[in-house]
Structure 1
Amino acid sequence: MAPPRPPASGWPAHSIGIDIGGTSIKGGRVNTENGQLTTALTAVPTPQPATPLAVTNAIHQLLQDLDPSQTALGSRLPLGVAAPAIMQQGIARSAANISDSWIGMDVNQFMTEQLGRPVSAINDADAAGLAEVQFGAGKLSKGLVVVITLGTGIGSALVMDGTLVPNTEFGHLEIDGQDAEVTTSAVARERNAMGWPDYARHLNRYLSHLEFLLSPELIIIGGGISARSADFLPLLKLKTKVIPAKLQNAAGTIGAATHMLTPDRPDVGVRR
């Protein structure tokens, strides 16, 4: 896969990435040419209720440390935000573990106005998937790559030759009459006290269905459970290569920051 194109002329090779989670909001500065964090990940608790204004205020708090230049409006770094929502042209079409008041909001416009800097929002699983394909486990991979994040639910990202197909919701595929995430998420394994062989059978059933539908070249497994990949990946029986993610809890932050500075993206209405 070709490396990411450089930022548009006049734009910095750095951006800030923010990853909104159900319990915490993480952020960091990112070198968008190599995907490396240039600061440590910083986090603040996710406000409850997680309304757009409350979350934006929490992000503003993070920016105090992440962008000391913010006192000069013209020097403020652009901001990419990974949100737990379906994002279409910057508009939230769903809300998971955040307030329903996000639904229908133009997140790009709202946060740009509130924070005084260019902002572009992307679905959180898509952000993590982009980061893994550009800089992580899927770097240099060609063809169709599927990134699956196993956590409270199941997130998914679909990347074809480096181009994202946004807002897939493969965690809601029906397997034996139930959403896959009901039986196959990391939380489902804990809730049902499944051992690794039992869990691997559920995961294999789910991934086999994805394999049949999509015929991917590579499947990357992310989420916190990927740290235990040696306990279940060897038990899978698939034709497709399955590997663990590399970027761990920084993937969403890196992907959001990189997405912000991808040239010619139609959903960034703030670039001139």
Structure 2
Amino acid sequence: MSVMGDNHGFGVDIGGSGIKGGIVDLDTGHLVGERFKVLTPHPSTPGACAGAVREVVDNFGWTGPVGVTVPAVVTNGTVRSAANIDQGWIGTDANALFAASLNRQVTVINDADAAGLAEDKYGAGNDVSGVVILLTLGTGIGSALIHKGVLVPNTELGHLEVDGKEAEHRAASSVKDAKGWTYEKWAAQLSRVIREYEKLFWPDLFIVGGGISRKADKWIPMLEVSTPVVPATLLNTAGIVGAAMAAQAQA
């Protein structure tokens, strides 16, 4: 049964391994009840993912608008890239795809952008009035750039070249794992990347997410940067919450 409260929304977060969703209290940023997760189809084609998203939404009996994240650049509802999903997504009108599958209004947003919106409003950035940059440190580096609650979408800062190498090829957490680096060695590389972002954007705060953020106490103190860096607080619910926020904004 759905819980259609006065200020409840619904978000679905499509990841490389799982598709998870839930009802969000948009006053608090908390989930209403538990989230529900299904495995991401392989291959993760648009049609297959649309079916999985429908399964997640139907599990709750939700009847209102839905927000959906994808790990890709999204402009005006159309997917322009494909990271950790099938290449068939490129050029897909994702808003129309999911709206047809779910028979309702759907808003599609980049996954890092969704997490950034959620962290800015309900999480680590909720008391910062200036420029906030969220970085998701995983297989690559996802990014969200937000100023006073307003998102600049699809920044893709992980692809910025830093000293002759893409930022995410230099400092994603997957690079640390692949090369067997210590936190200290990895933090030195991440510092080089963050200093480049500082020169370009002069943010007031960096929020770092991804699995490695759970051990932030082991490496944030090693960063040699000027801007405060804090771990994300919403963890694996941020995408769901941000997707629900995006759907509400378009309703």
Aligned twin of 1:206: 193
Structure-2 separation of matches of 1:239 and 1:52: 42
Out of 13, 17, 30, the position equivalent to 1:19 is 13
Contact 2:95 2:107 in 1 (8 A): yes
Out of 48, 52, 55, the position equivalent to 2:46 is 52
Q: SS where residue 158 of structure 1 aligns?
A: strand
Runs of 4+ deviating beyond 6 Å: none
Structure-1 separation of matches of 2:210 and 2:134: 10
- 2:100 counterpart of 1:106: no
Q: Percent identity?
A: 44
- Give the partner amino acid of 1:34: T
- Let me know the Cα RMSD of the aligned residues: 1.2
Structure-2 separation of matches of 1:36 and 1:169: 27
Contact 1:17 1:30 in 2 (8 A): yes
- Give the partner amino acid of 2:67: G
- 2:113 counterpart of 1:119: no
Structure-2 separation of matches of 1:93 and 1:196: 34
Structure-1 separation of matches of 2:47 and 2:6: 27
Structure-2 separation of matches of 1:127 and 1:253: 8
- 2:134 counterpart of 1:140: no
Aligned positions, number: 247
Q: Mean Cα displacement is larger for which, 149-158 or 176-185?
A: 176-185
Contact 2:108 2:243 in 1 (8 A): yes
Using the size of structure 2 for normalisation, the TM-score is 0.95
Q: SS where residue 126 of structure 2 aligns?
A: coil
Deviation at 1:174, TM superposition (A): 1.1
What is the correspondence of 1:69-84 to structure 2 with a 5 Å cutoff? 70=62, 76-84=63-71
- 2:18 counterpart of 1:31: no
Structure-1 separation of matches of 2:190 and 2:167: 9
Using the size of structure 1 for normalisation, the TM-score is 0.88
Deviation at 1:221, TM superposition (A): 0.6
Contact 1:30 1:38 in 2 (8 A): yes
Aligned twin of 1:181: 168
Contact 2:188 2:224 in 1 (8 A): no
- Give the partner amino acid of 2:46: P
Structure-2 separation of matches of 1:85 and 1:174: 19
- Give the partner amino acid of 2:89: W
Contact 2:142 2:156 in 1 (8 A): yes
Q: SS where residue 208 of structure 2 aligns?
A: strand
- Give the partner amino acid of 1:55: C
Contact 1:14 1:77 in 2 (8 A): no
Deviation at 1:176, TM superposition (A): 2.0
Aligned twin of 1:4: none
- 2:232 counterpart of 1:238: no
Q: SS where residue 50 of structure 1 aligns?
A: coil
Structure-2 separation of matches of 1:206 and 1:186: 13
Deviation at 1:12, TM superposition (A): 4.8
Deviation at 1:117, TM superposition (A): 1.7
Aligned twin of 1:5: none
- Give the partner amino acid of 1:85: A
Structure-1 separation of matches of 2:180 and 2:137: 16
Q: SS where residue 261 of structure 1 aligns?
A: helix
Contact 1:85 1:94 in 2 (8 A): yes
Contact 1:35 1:258 in 2 (8 A): no
Give unpaired runs (5+ residues) of structure 1: 1-10, 71-75, 263-267
Q: SS where residue 199 of structure 1 aligns?
A: helix
Give unpaired runs (5+ residues) of structure 2: none
